[in-house]
Structure 1
Amino acid sequence: MRLDKFVCKSTTLNRQQAVLVISAGEVTVNGNAIVDAAVQVHESNCIEFQGERLLPRPFRYILLNKPKSTLCSNVDGDYPSIFNLLNVPNPDELHIAGRLDADTTGLVLITDDGRWSFNVFNPKYHCQKVYRVRLRDSIEGEHKGEIDGQLVARFKQGLQLPGETKLTLPAKLVYVSEREALLTISEGRYHQVKRMFAAVGNRVVGLHRERVGSIECDVACGEWRYLSDIEVEGFGFSSLSELDNRR
C-alpha cells in the first residue's frame, strides 16, 4: 500500500493533506522519516505520525444491488453515481470491483481493499459470474432452425467475438423462457455478455448480474449490505489472515 494511502486510512487526513505531512518529514517508517508519498509500506511496518503509531481502519466489503440508469463511478456523470446510494464514512476511500454498464442492474462489489478486488476479477482465478439475460428474439441460435442444444454447445465451446483473436472461455447457458436465459461466465471482457449474444444473431435488451462467485445479490434494488467474513474468504482464500499476508 502507498504511504499516503496508509496515512489516509489511519487518520482523518485526506490524500492532499497526507502528502503534505509526508513531504514535511512528519511521518516515519520503522524509525526513518520518509518524504516520498508513493513509497510502498506494509501493515507490519511501524508507521508513526506525530509520535503515535498509525493503525489502519479495517477493510470494508460491500454488496450493492445496482439500479438501472446509474453509473459505476465515484462521481456523477450522465447518470447519478451508485455512491449516492451508500451511507458510509470516508466513501472516497472505496472503489468499485467489476463495473456494470449504466443500463445493467444487479450485484456490484465495493471495497477499499485493492488486492482483494483484483483477485476477485482476475481471470486466472476463474471466478464465475451469473447474469440473467433478456433477449430481443427467441433463443434459437444464429441460423434459423438451429436447435437450442446446439447454441448451448457453442457457448460451452467458446465464441469468436469481432476484433478478438481468442475464443471466449467456456460459458454455461441455461434457458429460463423463450427470451430469457441465465449465462455463467468466468471472464470479463468489454461488454462480453452483449457481444456474445450479438455473435449468435440476438440482442440483449435487459441484463442483471445475480451472482459473483458464491455471493448472491440478495438485497432489494438500490439497497446494500456489508459482506460477511465467510463471503470475503470465499474467493480462494482459506482465511482473512491468509488474505492479509498476501498484501
Structure 2
Amino acid sequence: MDGLFKERLDTVFIRRGISTHRRVRRLLQKHNVCVNGTRVLESGFGLNLATDELSIDGIKKNLAPDIYLMMNKKSGTICSTKDDGLYKTVYSFIPQKYFYYAKENSLQKIHTVGRLDTDTEGLLIFTTNGDFSHSLANPLFHVKKTYYVELEKSEPEEQRKFLEKKFSEGFFIPPEKNEREFISRPAILEWNSANSCRLTITEGKFHQVKRMFSAQGNKVIFLKRISIGSLALDEKLAPGDSRELSSEELSLLFK
C-alpha cells in the first residue's frame, strides 16, 4: 500500500522548483540528498510524501503537496492580490476550492509566477511553492516565454527581416517611468503577417515586449502569452478559467 503514496524523487524536485529535469542527476551527485537520514543517488527513488523526511545538505525540505495552476488570464485584470478599484484581480477568478490559499494568513500562500500587464492576456501560472516560482522567474535558467503580438503599423518585408536580425542580437531599450534602460537579450521574432508575430524572450523586464517594439518605432496593440518553456496555454480554457498542472506539464516549463 505504501507505493500508492510515493512519488519519484525527480518529480518532487521538479514540482517544488528544487531542480530541473536535466539537473537532477547532477544535484544528486554533488549534494548530500538524504531521505530519512540515508543518502539517495537514484532519481527514481520513491518518496512517501506523508511520512518521509527529505533534506539537502542538512536542510530539511517541506514535502507537503503544493498547488500549481494554469490560468488563461483575461485582459483588463491585474496580478495584484487586491482590486485597485478599476480592475479585478486575477485572484478573484481562482476556483472556490483554492480561495483559502490566497488569504494572507495562509501557511501556503498562493501567488502568481511573475506578472502580466493589465491589458495582456494568456498563460499565467499560480503556485504555493516559492522555490518553484523563484526558479521559473530566475533569469539564470533562461526560461523561454513566447507571446503572440499584434502591432499598430504593418512592417514591409525588408523591415521585418531587419527586425528579426535586430531582435536576435539584442538592442538598447530606453528607460520608462521608474524603470532603467537595458540591453535586451537575444530573442526570436517570427512573423505571421505584416503586423502580427510571435516573440520568444528569456527575461521579463517591466513592459518588456511593448518597450522592445516601441524602441523600433512601432506600438503593441494586442499581447497574449502563449507558452512558457515548452508548456503551451490550454486553449480550451476560457479567459479567466484555470486548471491544475500535471507533473509532466510542470517539467515542460523548464524545457
Q: By the TM > 0.5 criterion, same fold? A: yes
Amino acid at match of 1:82: V
2:131 matches 1:86: no
Alpha-carbon separation, structure 1, partners of 2:181 and 2:195: 29
2:217 matches 1:217: no
Query: What whole-Å deviation, never above 9, does each CA across 1:148-206 have from its counterpart, x for those lacking one?
Result: 21110000000200135642111011111121110000000111000000010000011
Amino acid at match of 1:201: G
Shift of 1:85: 1.0
Report if aligned partners of 2:190, 2:198 keep a CA contact under 8 Å in 1. yes
- Greater strand percent: which structure? 2
Amino acid at match of 1:189: K
TM-score (norm 2): 0.67
Query: What whole-Å deviation, never above 9, does each CA across 1:31-55 have from its counterpart, x for those lacking one?
Result: xxxxxxxxxxxx659xxxxxxxxx8
Identity of aligned residues (%): 36
Pick one of 65, 71, 74 that aligns with 2:81.
74
Q: What corresponds to 2:202 in structure 1?
A: 186
Query: What whole-Å deviation, never above 9, does each CA across 1:39-81 have from its counterpart, x for those lacking one?
Result: xxxx659xxxxxxxxx874100000000111111211112011
Would the alpha carbon gap of residues 137 and 236 (structure 1) be closer, same or farther in structure 2, given more than 3 Å must change? closer
Q: What corresponds to 1:158 in structure 2?
A: 170
Q: What corresponds to 1:135 in structure 2?
A: 151
2:251 matches 1:233: yes
Shift of 1:146: 4.7
What secondary structure sits across from 2:214 in the alignment? helix
Alpha-carbon separation, structure 2, partners of 1:236 and 1:65: 19
Shift of 1:147: 3.0
Alpha-carbon separation, structure 1, partners of 2:218 and 2:91: 33
Structure 1 alignment gaps of length 5 or more: 1-42, 46-54, 238-247
Alpha-carbon separation, structure 2, partners of 1:128 and 1:233: 13
Q: What corresponds to 2:65 in structure 1?
A: 58
Count of residue correspondences? 182
What secondary structure sits across from 1:147 in the alignment? helix
Amino acid at match of 2:71: L
User: Which one has a bigger Cα radius of gyration?
Assistant: 1
Structure 2 alignment gaps of length 5 or more: 1-52, 56-61, 103-108
Alpha-carbon separation, structure 2, partners of 1:135 and 1:165: 22
Would the alpha carbon gap of residues 195 and 165 (structure 1) be closer, same or farther in structure 2, given more than 3 Å must change? closer
Alpha-carbon separation, structure 1, partners of 2:169 and 2:197: 17
Q: Which has the higher contact order (CA 8 A, sep 6+)?
A: 2
TM-score (norm 1): 0.69
Would the alpha carbon gap of residues 200 and 181 (structure 1) be closer, same or farther in structure 2, given more than 3 Å must change? same
Amino acid at match of 2:90: I
What secondary structure sits across from 1:76 in the alignment? coil
Alpha-carbon separation, structure 2, partners of 1:203 and 1:190: 16
Amino acid at match of 1:181: C
Please say which of residues 83-92 and 58-67 is displaced more in the overlay. 83-92
Alpha-carbon separation, structure 1, partners of 2:217 and 2:181: 20
